[in-house]
Chains A and B, each alone.
Chain A
Amino acid sequence: MKKFTVLLMVMLMTVSMVFANGTTEAAPAKSEAIKVGLICIGDENDQGYTYNFIRGQKEATEKLAAEGINVEWVTKYNIGEDSTCVDANIEVAEEDCKIIFNNSYGFEPFMLEVAPNYPNIDFVSCTNCVSSHDALPNTFNAFANIYEGRYVAGVVAGLKLNQMISEGKITADKAVIGYVGAFSFAEVISGFTSYYLGAKSVCPSVTMKVSFVGSWSDATAEADAAKALADQGCVMISQHSDNTTPATAAQSAGIFHTGYNNDMTSVAPNASLISTRIDWSVYFYEFIKAFVAGEKLDQDWCKGMEDDAVKMTELNTAIAAPGTQAKMDQVIADISSGKIQVFDTSKFTVKGATVTHAFARDTNGDFAADTDEAVFDGAYHESYFQSAPYFTEQIDGITWLNAAY
């Protein structure tokens, strides 16, 4: 019993030290660095969506440091699209962050629950669309014209298909693209449509099959979808989902692939031609710089290839069709100058007819677009009235295999 008492005393003392020490060290006061929060749906290990944000975070920090602006990031990983997102926003706000970026679409409603309580903090919802026009002056939306990058990736894919046709590997009518999509969501529809239009601009006979997997990130389902598409005769795979498994599936099926978010040539060197991604460092840099200068960016921010907000990864020249780089450079220049309109209404039809009318935004909250005519001057103007994509037309030439999702 004596031993026991001694042991107890020692432990008690140890623990009292814990608390004595701990409270004094909490909440350290840092130098004049501006504190910025970033709330992520995943972490860097996804090698896709969140990885791309972390990459932007690092690049922006370096660019700002070079200009004498020190940023101290408070980053939360693996936050769910539920009340844990509310908690994360409060948590980061209480760490004295001046700006809080939320990286996932589904974070916005939860972020907006917190934002009114912290009027001096700017809350940014990347990829969503309510913050820009709600009553709160401290909430923001941001996206990039990723459809431009998709179009260019489509051109790369189309040139490869042309090469396969001219080499006699496939006939023109067998130029079928398979697309692994997450959900039948505007962002995804806009993405695969622009990709298809890019391919069609160089390879007129191309058609596309889209398979929705019902998850933003499900490595196995994405691989299965890619394999199933290959079995259905697709000779080119692209994707709007977070993993690299469609690339590896394409490689094992002996067909080609273009990716999203991250360079996938390292995992599938014989299949992956190129990827496109949003460079978030452009936005992070602009926003933080403006904030430090006492200014505010537009509540709805959207930039494209012209401003390097959308980038192409390095072309896999070992397998790309000859002359691809030159054609790509020309297309990028034409998109930047406005010579090419990605959603040129003379280039696609819906049920055989040219699109002459489509609303861009929803204002009454029923989730059906009712305001702002998106079709004018011979093109559907994507990401023009709001940064988040709103193109949802089902154009001819693209088959939706399972629209249930």
Chain B
Amino acid sequence: MSAEVKTPFVRLAKRDSMDPKKVWAIRLSSILVALILGMIPIMITGQNPFTAYGIIINGSLGKPIYIKQTIKIAIPLLGCALAIAPCFKMRFWNIGAEGQITAGAIAASYFALYWSDKVPSFVLILIMFVTAAIAGGIWGLIPAFFKAKWNTNETLFTLMMNYIIIGIVSWLQGGPWEGRKGSQLIPMFNQSARLPEIFGIHCGWIIVLLLVVLMHIYMNYTKHGYEIAVIGDSENTARYAGMNVGKIMMRTMFLSGAICGVVGFIVVSGANHTLNNGVANGVGFTSITVAWLSQLNAFAMIVISLILAILTKGANTLQTRLKVPASISDIVTGILLFCMLSCEFFINYKLIFRHGKSEEEASK
């Protein structure tokens, strides 16, 4: 009897497995709950939430140009989510994607600004691509090296590296690369340093879609991918199996940083056509959400990054048409992400209530 009194009102229990249909039903309903909760802040601003949701969809997908804009937002998100996926699989918390993007952007920008009249466009873009990957890779390799050698905390290390590289861009903006004196603006790239467009969108989308396939193969069908998975599950098992954990960490972080660097190249060469200290624009952080929501599945990342892009683009239109503060749509996005992430909790755990009849009955 006494044991029964101490039973808490709600208990958690890990689920063994769940019917995939039910898993998807939970995921879908979490989105619906989010949409319903999201109505609250919209109604607080005195707007009709149905109109608002309509505008979000219309503003992101309503016209061909809107769709192009939306895809433009999704490209760096997808690319960067792909980049951090192997790190996260390895349980190496790389939150320095922001900085690795910026490092790649700096390298690409250097060649865009100073080599555009020296080499033909195709070669220039190839150089920008490769140097951006190397720069991003090195920026990712540094914290991995310290982690491998002295077991430093990679979360703090990668985060701090962001501020350094962003500071470097600020210096370039006001110093050696500045255009008109005092303007704090780096000049726009020449046409030859810009990514060509395919179907009206810079061809960065082809690069990231290729990366999706490559990353999927890398993670699931290669020795490297297997090693990453083993380290993620248990570092000791990996050591026992004779894997060089430090080496694999550095290799994976170089790869991750390199892909981030390529994203940086895509952003400056395809979208911004110049460099500024906001080049990463939070993508390095938002893509963490994309990676988690897709459970590190490369193909799911396409969908998730598009959903986030739709919300972002739609939110802009929402602000334009309904004159609500842009932060309202940020709140809606936040609610959506929160619900989607927390639904994974209900997929993995079940709640058992104290007055759950089955148990009570059984004990009597």
A residues apposed to B, CB below 8 Å: 4, 7-8, 11-12, 14-15, 17-19, 21-27, 74-78, 80-84, 86-88, 90-92, 94-95, 105-106, 109, 113, 183-189, 214, 362, 367, 392, 405
Contact = CB atoms under 8 A, between A and B. Distances in A.
Enumerate the 9 nearest inter-chain pairs by beta-carbon distance, A residue then B residue, closest first.
A22-B54, A185-B182, A11-B32, A26-B58, A21-B50, A183-B182, A18-B53, A83-B272, A367-B180
B33 interface: yes
A160 to B, nearest CB: 29
Nearest to B272: A83
Nearest to B313: A87
B158 interface: no
Nearest to A4: B25
B316 A23 contact: no
A36 to B, nearest CB: 13
Contacts of B149: none
Contacts of B188: 109, 113
A82 B278 contact: yes
B272 A91 contact: no
Nearest to B274: A109
Contacts of A105: 183
A26 B182 contact: no
Interface stretch (B293-301, B317-325, B356-364): B317-325
B303 interface: no
A334 B278 CA distance: 46
Interface in B34-66: 35-36, 49-59, 62-63, 65-66
Given A113-B188, A185-B184, 10 more contacts: A7-B29, A8-B32, A14-B32, A14-B35, A21-B51, A26-B55, A80-B278, A83-B273, A94-B65, A186-B180
Given A18-B53, A113-B273, A183-B182, A88 B316 contact: yes
A98 to B, nearest CB: 16
Interface of B: 25, 28-29, 32-33, 35-36, 49-59, 62-63, 65-66, 69, 72, 174, 179-185, 187-188, 267, 271-274, 276, 278-279, 281, 313, 316-317, 319-321, 323, 326
Contacts of A81: 185, 276
A214 B174 contact: yes
Contacts of B28: 8
B32 A15 contact: yes
A290 B301 CA distance: 50
Nearest to B178: A367
A22 B58 contact: yes
B54 A21 contact: yes
A27 B50 contact: no
Given A11-B33, A81-B276, A367 B54 contact: no
A27 B276 contact: no
Contacts of B272: 82-83
A22 B53 contact: yes
B316 A87 contact: yes
B274 A90 contact: no
Contacts of B59: 26
A12 B25 contact: no
A85 to B, nearest CB: 10
B36 A94 contact: no
Given A11-B36, A18-B49, A109-B274, A183 B54 contact: no
Given A14-B36, A19-B53, A94 B185 contact: no
A74 B320 contact: yes
B32 A25 contact: no
Contact of B51 (A8, A14, A22, A106): A22
A162 B92 CA distance: 67
Contacts of B316: 76, 87-88, 91
Contacts of B36: 11, 14
Nearest to B275: A82
A91 B69 CA distance: 9
10 contacts: A26-B55, A26-B58, A75-B323, A76-B320, A83-B267, A91-B320, A183-B182, A185-B184, A362-B180, A392-B181
Contacts of A8: 25, 28-29, 32
A71 to B, nearest CB: 15
A109 B188 CA distance: 7
Given A11-B36, A90-B65, A367 B57 contact: no
Nearest to A390: B180
Contacts of A367: 179-181, 187
Contact of A106 (B49, B55, B72, B185): B185
Nearest to A183: B182
A26 B51 CA distance: 8
B50 A17 contact: yes
A81 B183 CA distance: 11
A18 B184 contact: no
A392 B180 CA distance: 12
Contacts of A90: 65, 69
B35 A18 contact: yes
Contacts of B279: 82
A84 B54 CA distance: 22
A367 B267 CA distance: 25
B288 to A, nearest CB: 21
Nearest to B31: A15
A109 B52 CA distance: 32
Contacts of B29: 7-8, 11
Given A81-B276, A82-B281, A26 B62 contact: yes
Contact of A19 (B54, B62, B179, B321): B54
Contacts of B313: 87
Given A18-B54, A184-B182, A392-B181, A87 B69 contact: yes
Nearest to A112: B188
B180 A106 contact: no
Contacts of B181: 184-186, 367, 392
Given A80-B278, A90-B69, A109-B188, A19 B183 contact: no
Contacts of A77: 319, 326
Contacts of A74: 320
Given A19-B57, A76-B320, A106-B185, A83 B32 contact: no
